[in-house]
Structure 1
Amino acid sequence: MQSDVGPFDRFGWAYDRLMPPARASELRRGFGAAERDVRRVLDVGGGSGRAVRSLDVPRRIVVDAAPGMLRQARRHGLDTVVGDAGRLPVATASVDAVLIVDALHHMGAVDAVLAEARRVLRPGGVLVVREFDPGTLRGRALVAVEHLVGFESTFFRPDELTMRMATAEFAPRVVERGFGYTVAGVTSGTGKYGESERDV
């Protein structure tokens, strides 16, 4: 599913030195859409845990397909699970929030990724996606650079991602627009997944 895993696995040791800190303010705004207390967060494709480390929540878990990135997350004291975003090794209805930050464009079969996020969320939980808009000038440049270096990236405009999230049984809204944008989608208690208190 995550076709760009190899480079991230090899260069996990350098990731935090090269990337700026996550913008916690937009992530917190996304969490504000949740209809339940956010105590357990799953950072999907979270690598070193750069995004979830910026948030003050009791339980933070990083799922990534690149073991080299997860080694860095563990050094920061985070719980980690090796796994594919399209087949999460996480119990149904077991987390309050799912983060996908600067990573969705690296994941194949995005609709399967969104369906898995929906499955693992408890009713009233929230999926917060932080991505880059390929319709902006900087976005077009980013698309060109990522394809030039060999990434198989697929980028979505904010409204396109919102529609895909709605199809996956979320109630989504755009929290922030621009080159970097944020969409938050809330689950309801009427979907096919029930409440669970099981652990990952």
Structure 2
Amino acid sequence: MSTGDVALFDRFARYYDLFMPGAQATHLTRGLELADRPVRRLVDVGGGTGRAAQTLAVEQRLVLDASRGMLEQATLPSVQGDAGRMPLSTGAVDAITIVDALHHIYEWDRLFEEAFRVLAPGGVIVVSDFDPTTVPGRVLAVGERLVGFDSRFVAPDELRNRLETAGFETHLLDGGFGYTVAGVASKREGT
């Protein structure tokens, strides 16, 4: 996440949940169901206040975000950190969610390599974001720039390609302006 984005999130963290619509669990749950293992441990990357993770029926949920202000509003266990250097052990989680946050995270390939590392074999990453090739996506991109965000949006096909390069088997769960892509971590060599 760019430093400017973190500062903006820190500034409006107290009001974030008042103005953002609640996260929909439907597509996230469908993505979690693709895991080749039981999903008991989940990390919500760029999860802010934890609004997405709160909607999911998972035993252990952790919110990872770069914004201290957002984490101070979280009601779930949380840790401040960089998505490209997650403070988690190899194979530590069964699922990762990234909801409405990928466009604020930089170095996507590093993020996906790191996600593959911290996921147990057969674990799943579920990403919900906005398609910049749609008219509403282009409007959102301009709006975020006007507010001061340094957002970078990615279309679903490019996201799938990047996840596949990192070792995931991908699935498009929902298309359109708001889309959801899931990637199942293949087995590592020697496992």
TM-score range, shorter chain: over 0.9
SS in 1 for 2:69: helix
Mapped partners of 1:115, 1:149: distance in 2: 30
Residue 163 to residue 146, structure 1, CA distance change in 2 (3 Å)? same
Q: Distance in 2 between matches of 1:188 and 1:39?
A: 18
For normalisation by structure 2, the TM-score amounts to: 0.96
Counterpart-to-counterpart distance in 1, 2:73 and 2:61:
14
Mapped contact 2:2–2:150 kept (Cα < 8 A): no
**CA deviation map 1:72-102 (0-9, x unaligned):** 11xx2x1111101111111111000000000
Amino acid at match of 2:111: V
Equivalence map 1:123-162=2 (5 Å):
123-162=121-160
Count, aligned residues? 190
User: What secondary structure sits across from 2:95 in the alignment?
Assistant: strand
Give the drift of 1:190. 2.6
Q: For residues 105-116 of structure 1, what are the structure 2 equivalents within 5 Å?
A: 105-116=103-114
Distance in 2 (CA, whole Å) between partners of 1:118 and 1:11 is 31
Per the TM alignment, residue 191 of structure 1 is displaced from its structure 2 partner at its CA by 4.7
AA matched with 2:182? A
Output the amino acid matched with 1:12.
A
Inter-partner Cα distance in structure 1 for 2:182 and 2:2? 22
Q: Deviations over 1:6-50 (max 9, x none)?
A: 111121111111100001001001111111000000000100001
Q: Which residue of structure 2 lines up, in the alignment, with residue 62 of structure 1?
A: 63
Cα distance change, pair 181–64 in 1 and its aligned pair in 2 (3 A): same
Q: Partner amino acid for 1:151?
A: F
1:189 CA drift (Å):
1.4
Note the 1:43-62 alignment, pairs <5 A.
Answer: 43-62=44-63
Range that drifts further, 162-171 or 144-153: 144-153
Say which SS state the counterpart of residue 38 (structure 2) adopts: coil
Task: Name the counterpart of 2:29.
Answer: 28
**TM score, norm. by length of structure 1:** 0.92
SS of 1:86's partner is: coil
User: Do the aligned partners of 2:32 and 2:95 also contact (CA within 8 Å) in 1?
Assistant: yes
Question: Does the residue aligned with 1:127 lie in a helix, a strand or coil?
Answer: strand
User: Secondary structure in 1 aligned to 2:70?
Assistant: helix
Q: Unmatched 5+ residue regions in structure 2?
A: none
**Pair 54,188 (structure 1): closer, same or farther in 2 beyond 3 Å:** same
Query: Once superposed, what is the RMSD of the aligned Cα atoms?
Result: 1.2
CA contact (8 A) 1:2 1:84 kept: no
User: How many angstroms apart in 2 are the aligned matches of 1:53 and 1:39?
Assistant: 14
In the alignment, structure 1 segments of 5+ residues that lack a partner are 195-200
Corresponding position: 1:189 with 2:180: no
Amino acid aligned to 1:8 = F
Whether contact under 8 Å (1:169, 1:191) holds in the other structure is: no
Shift of 1:179: 0.5
Q: Which sits farther off after the overlay, 91-100 or 143-152?
A: 143-152
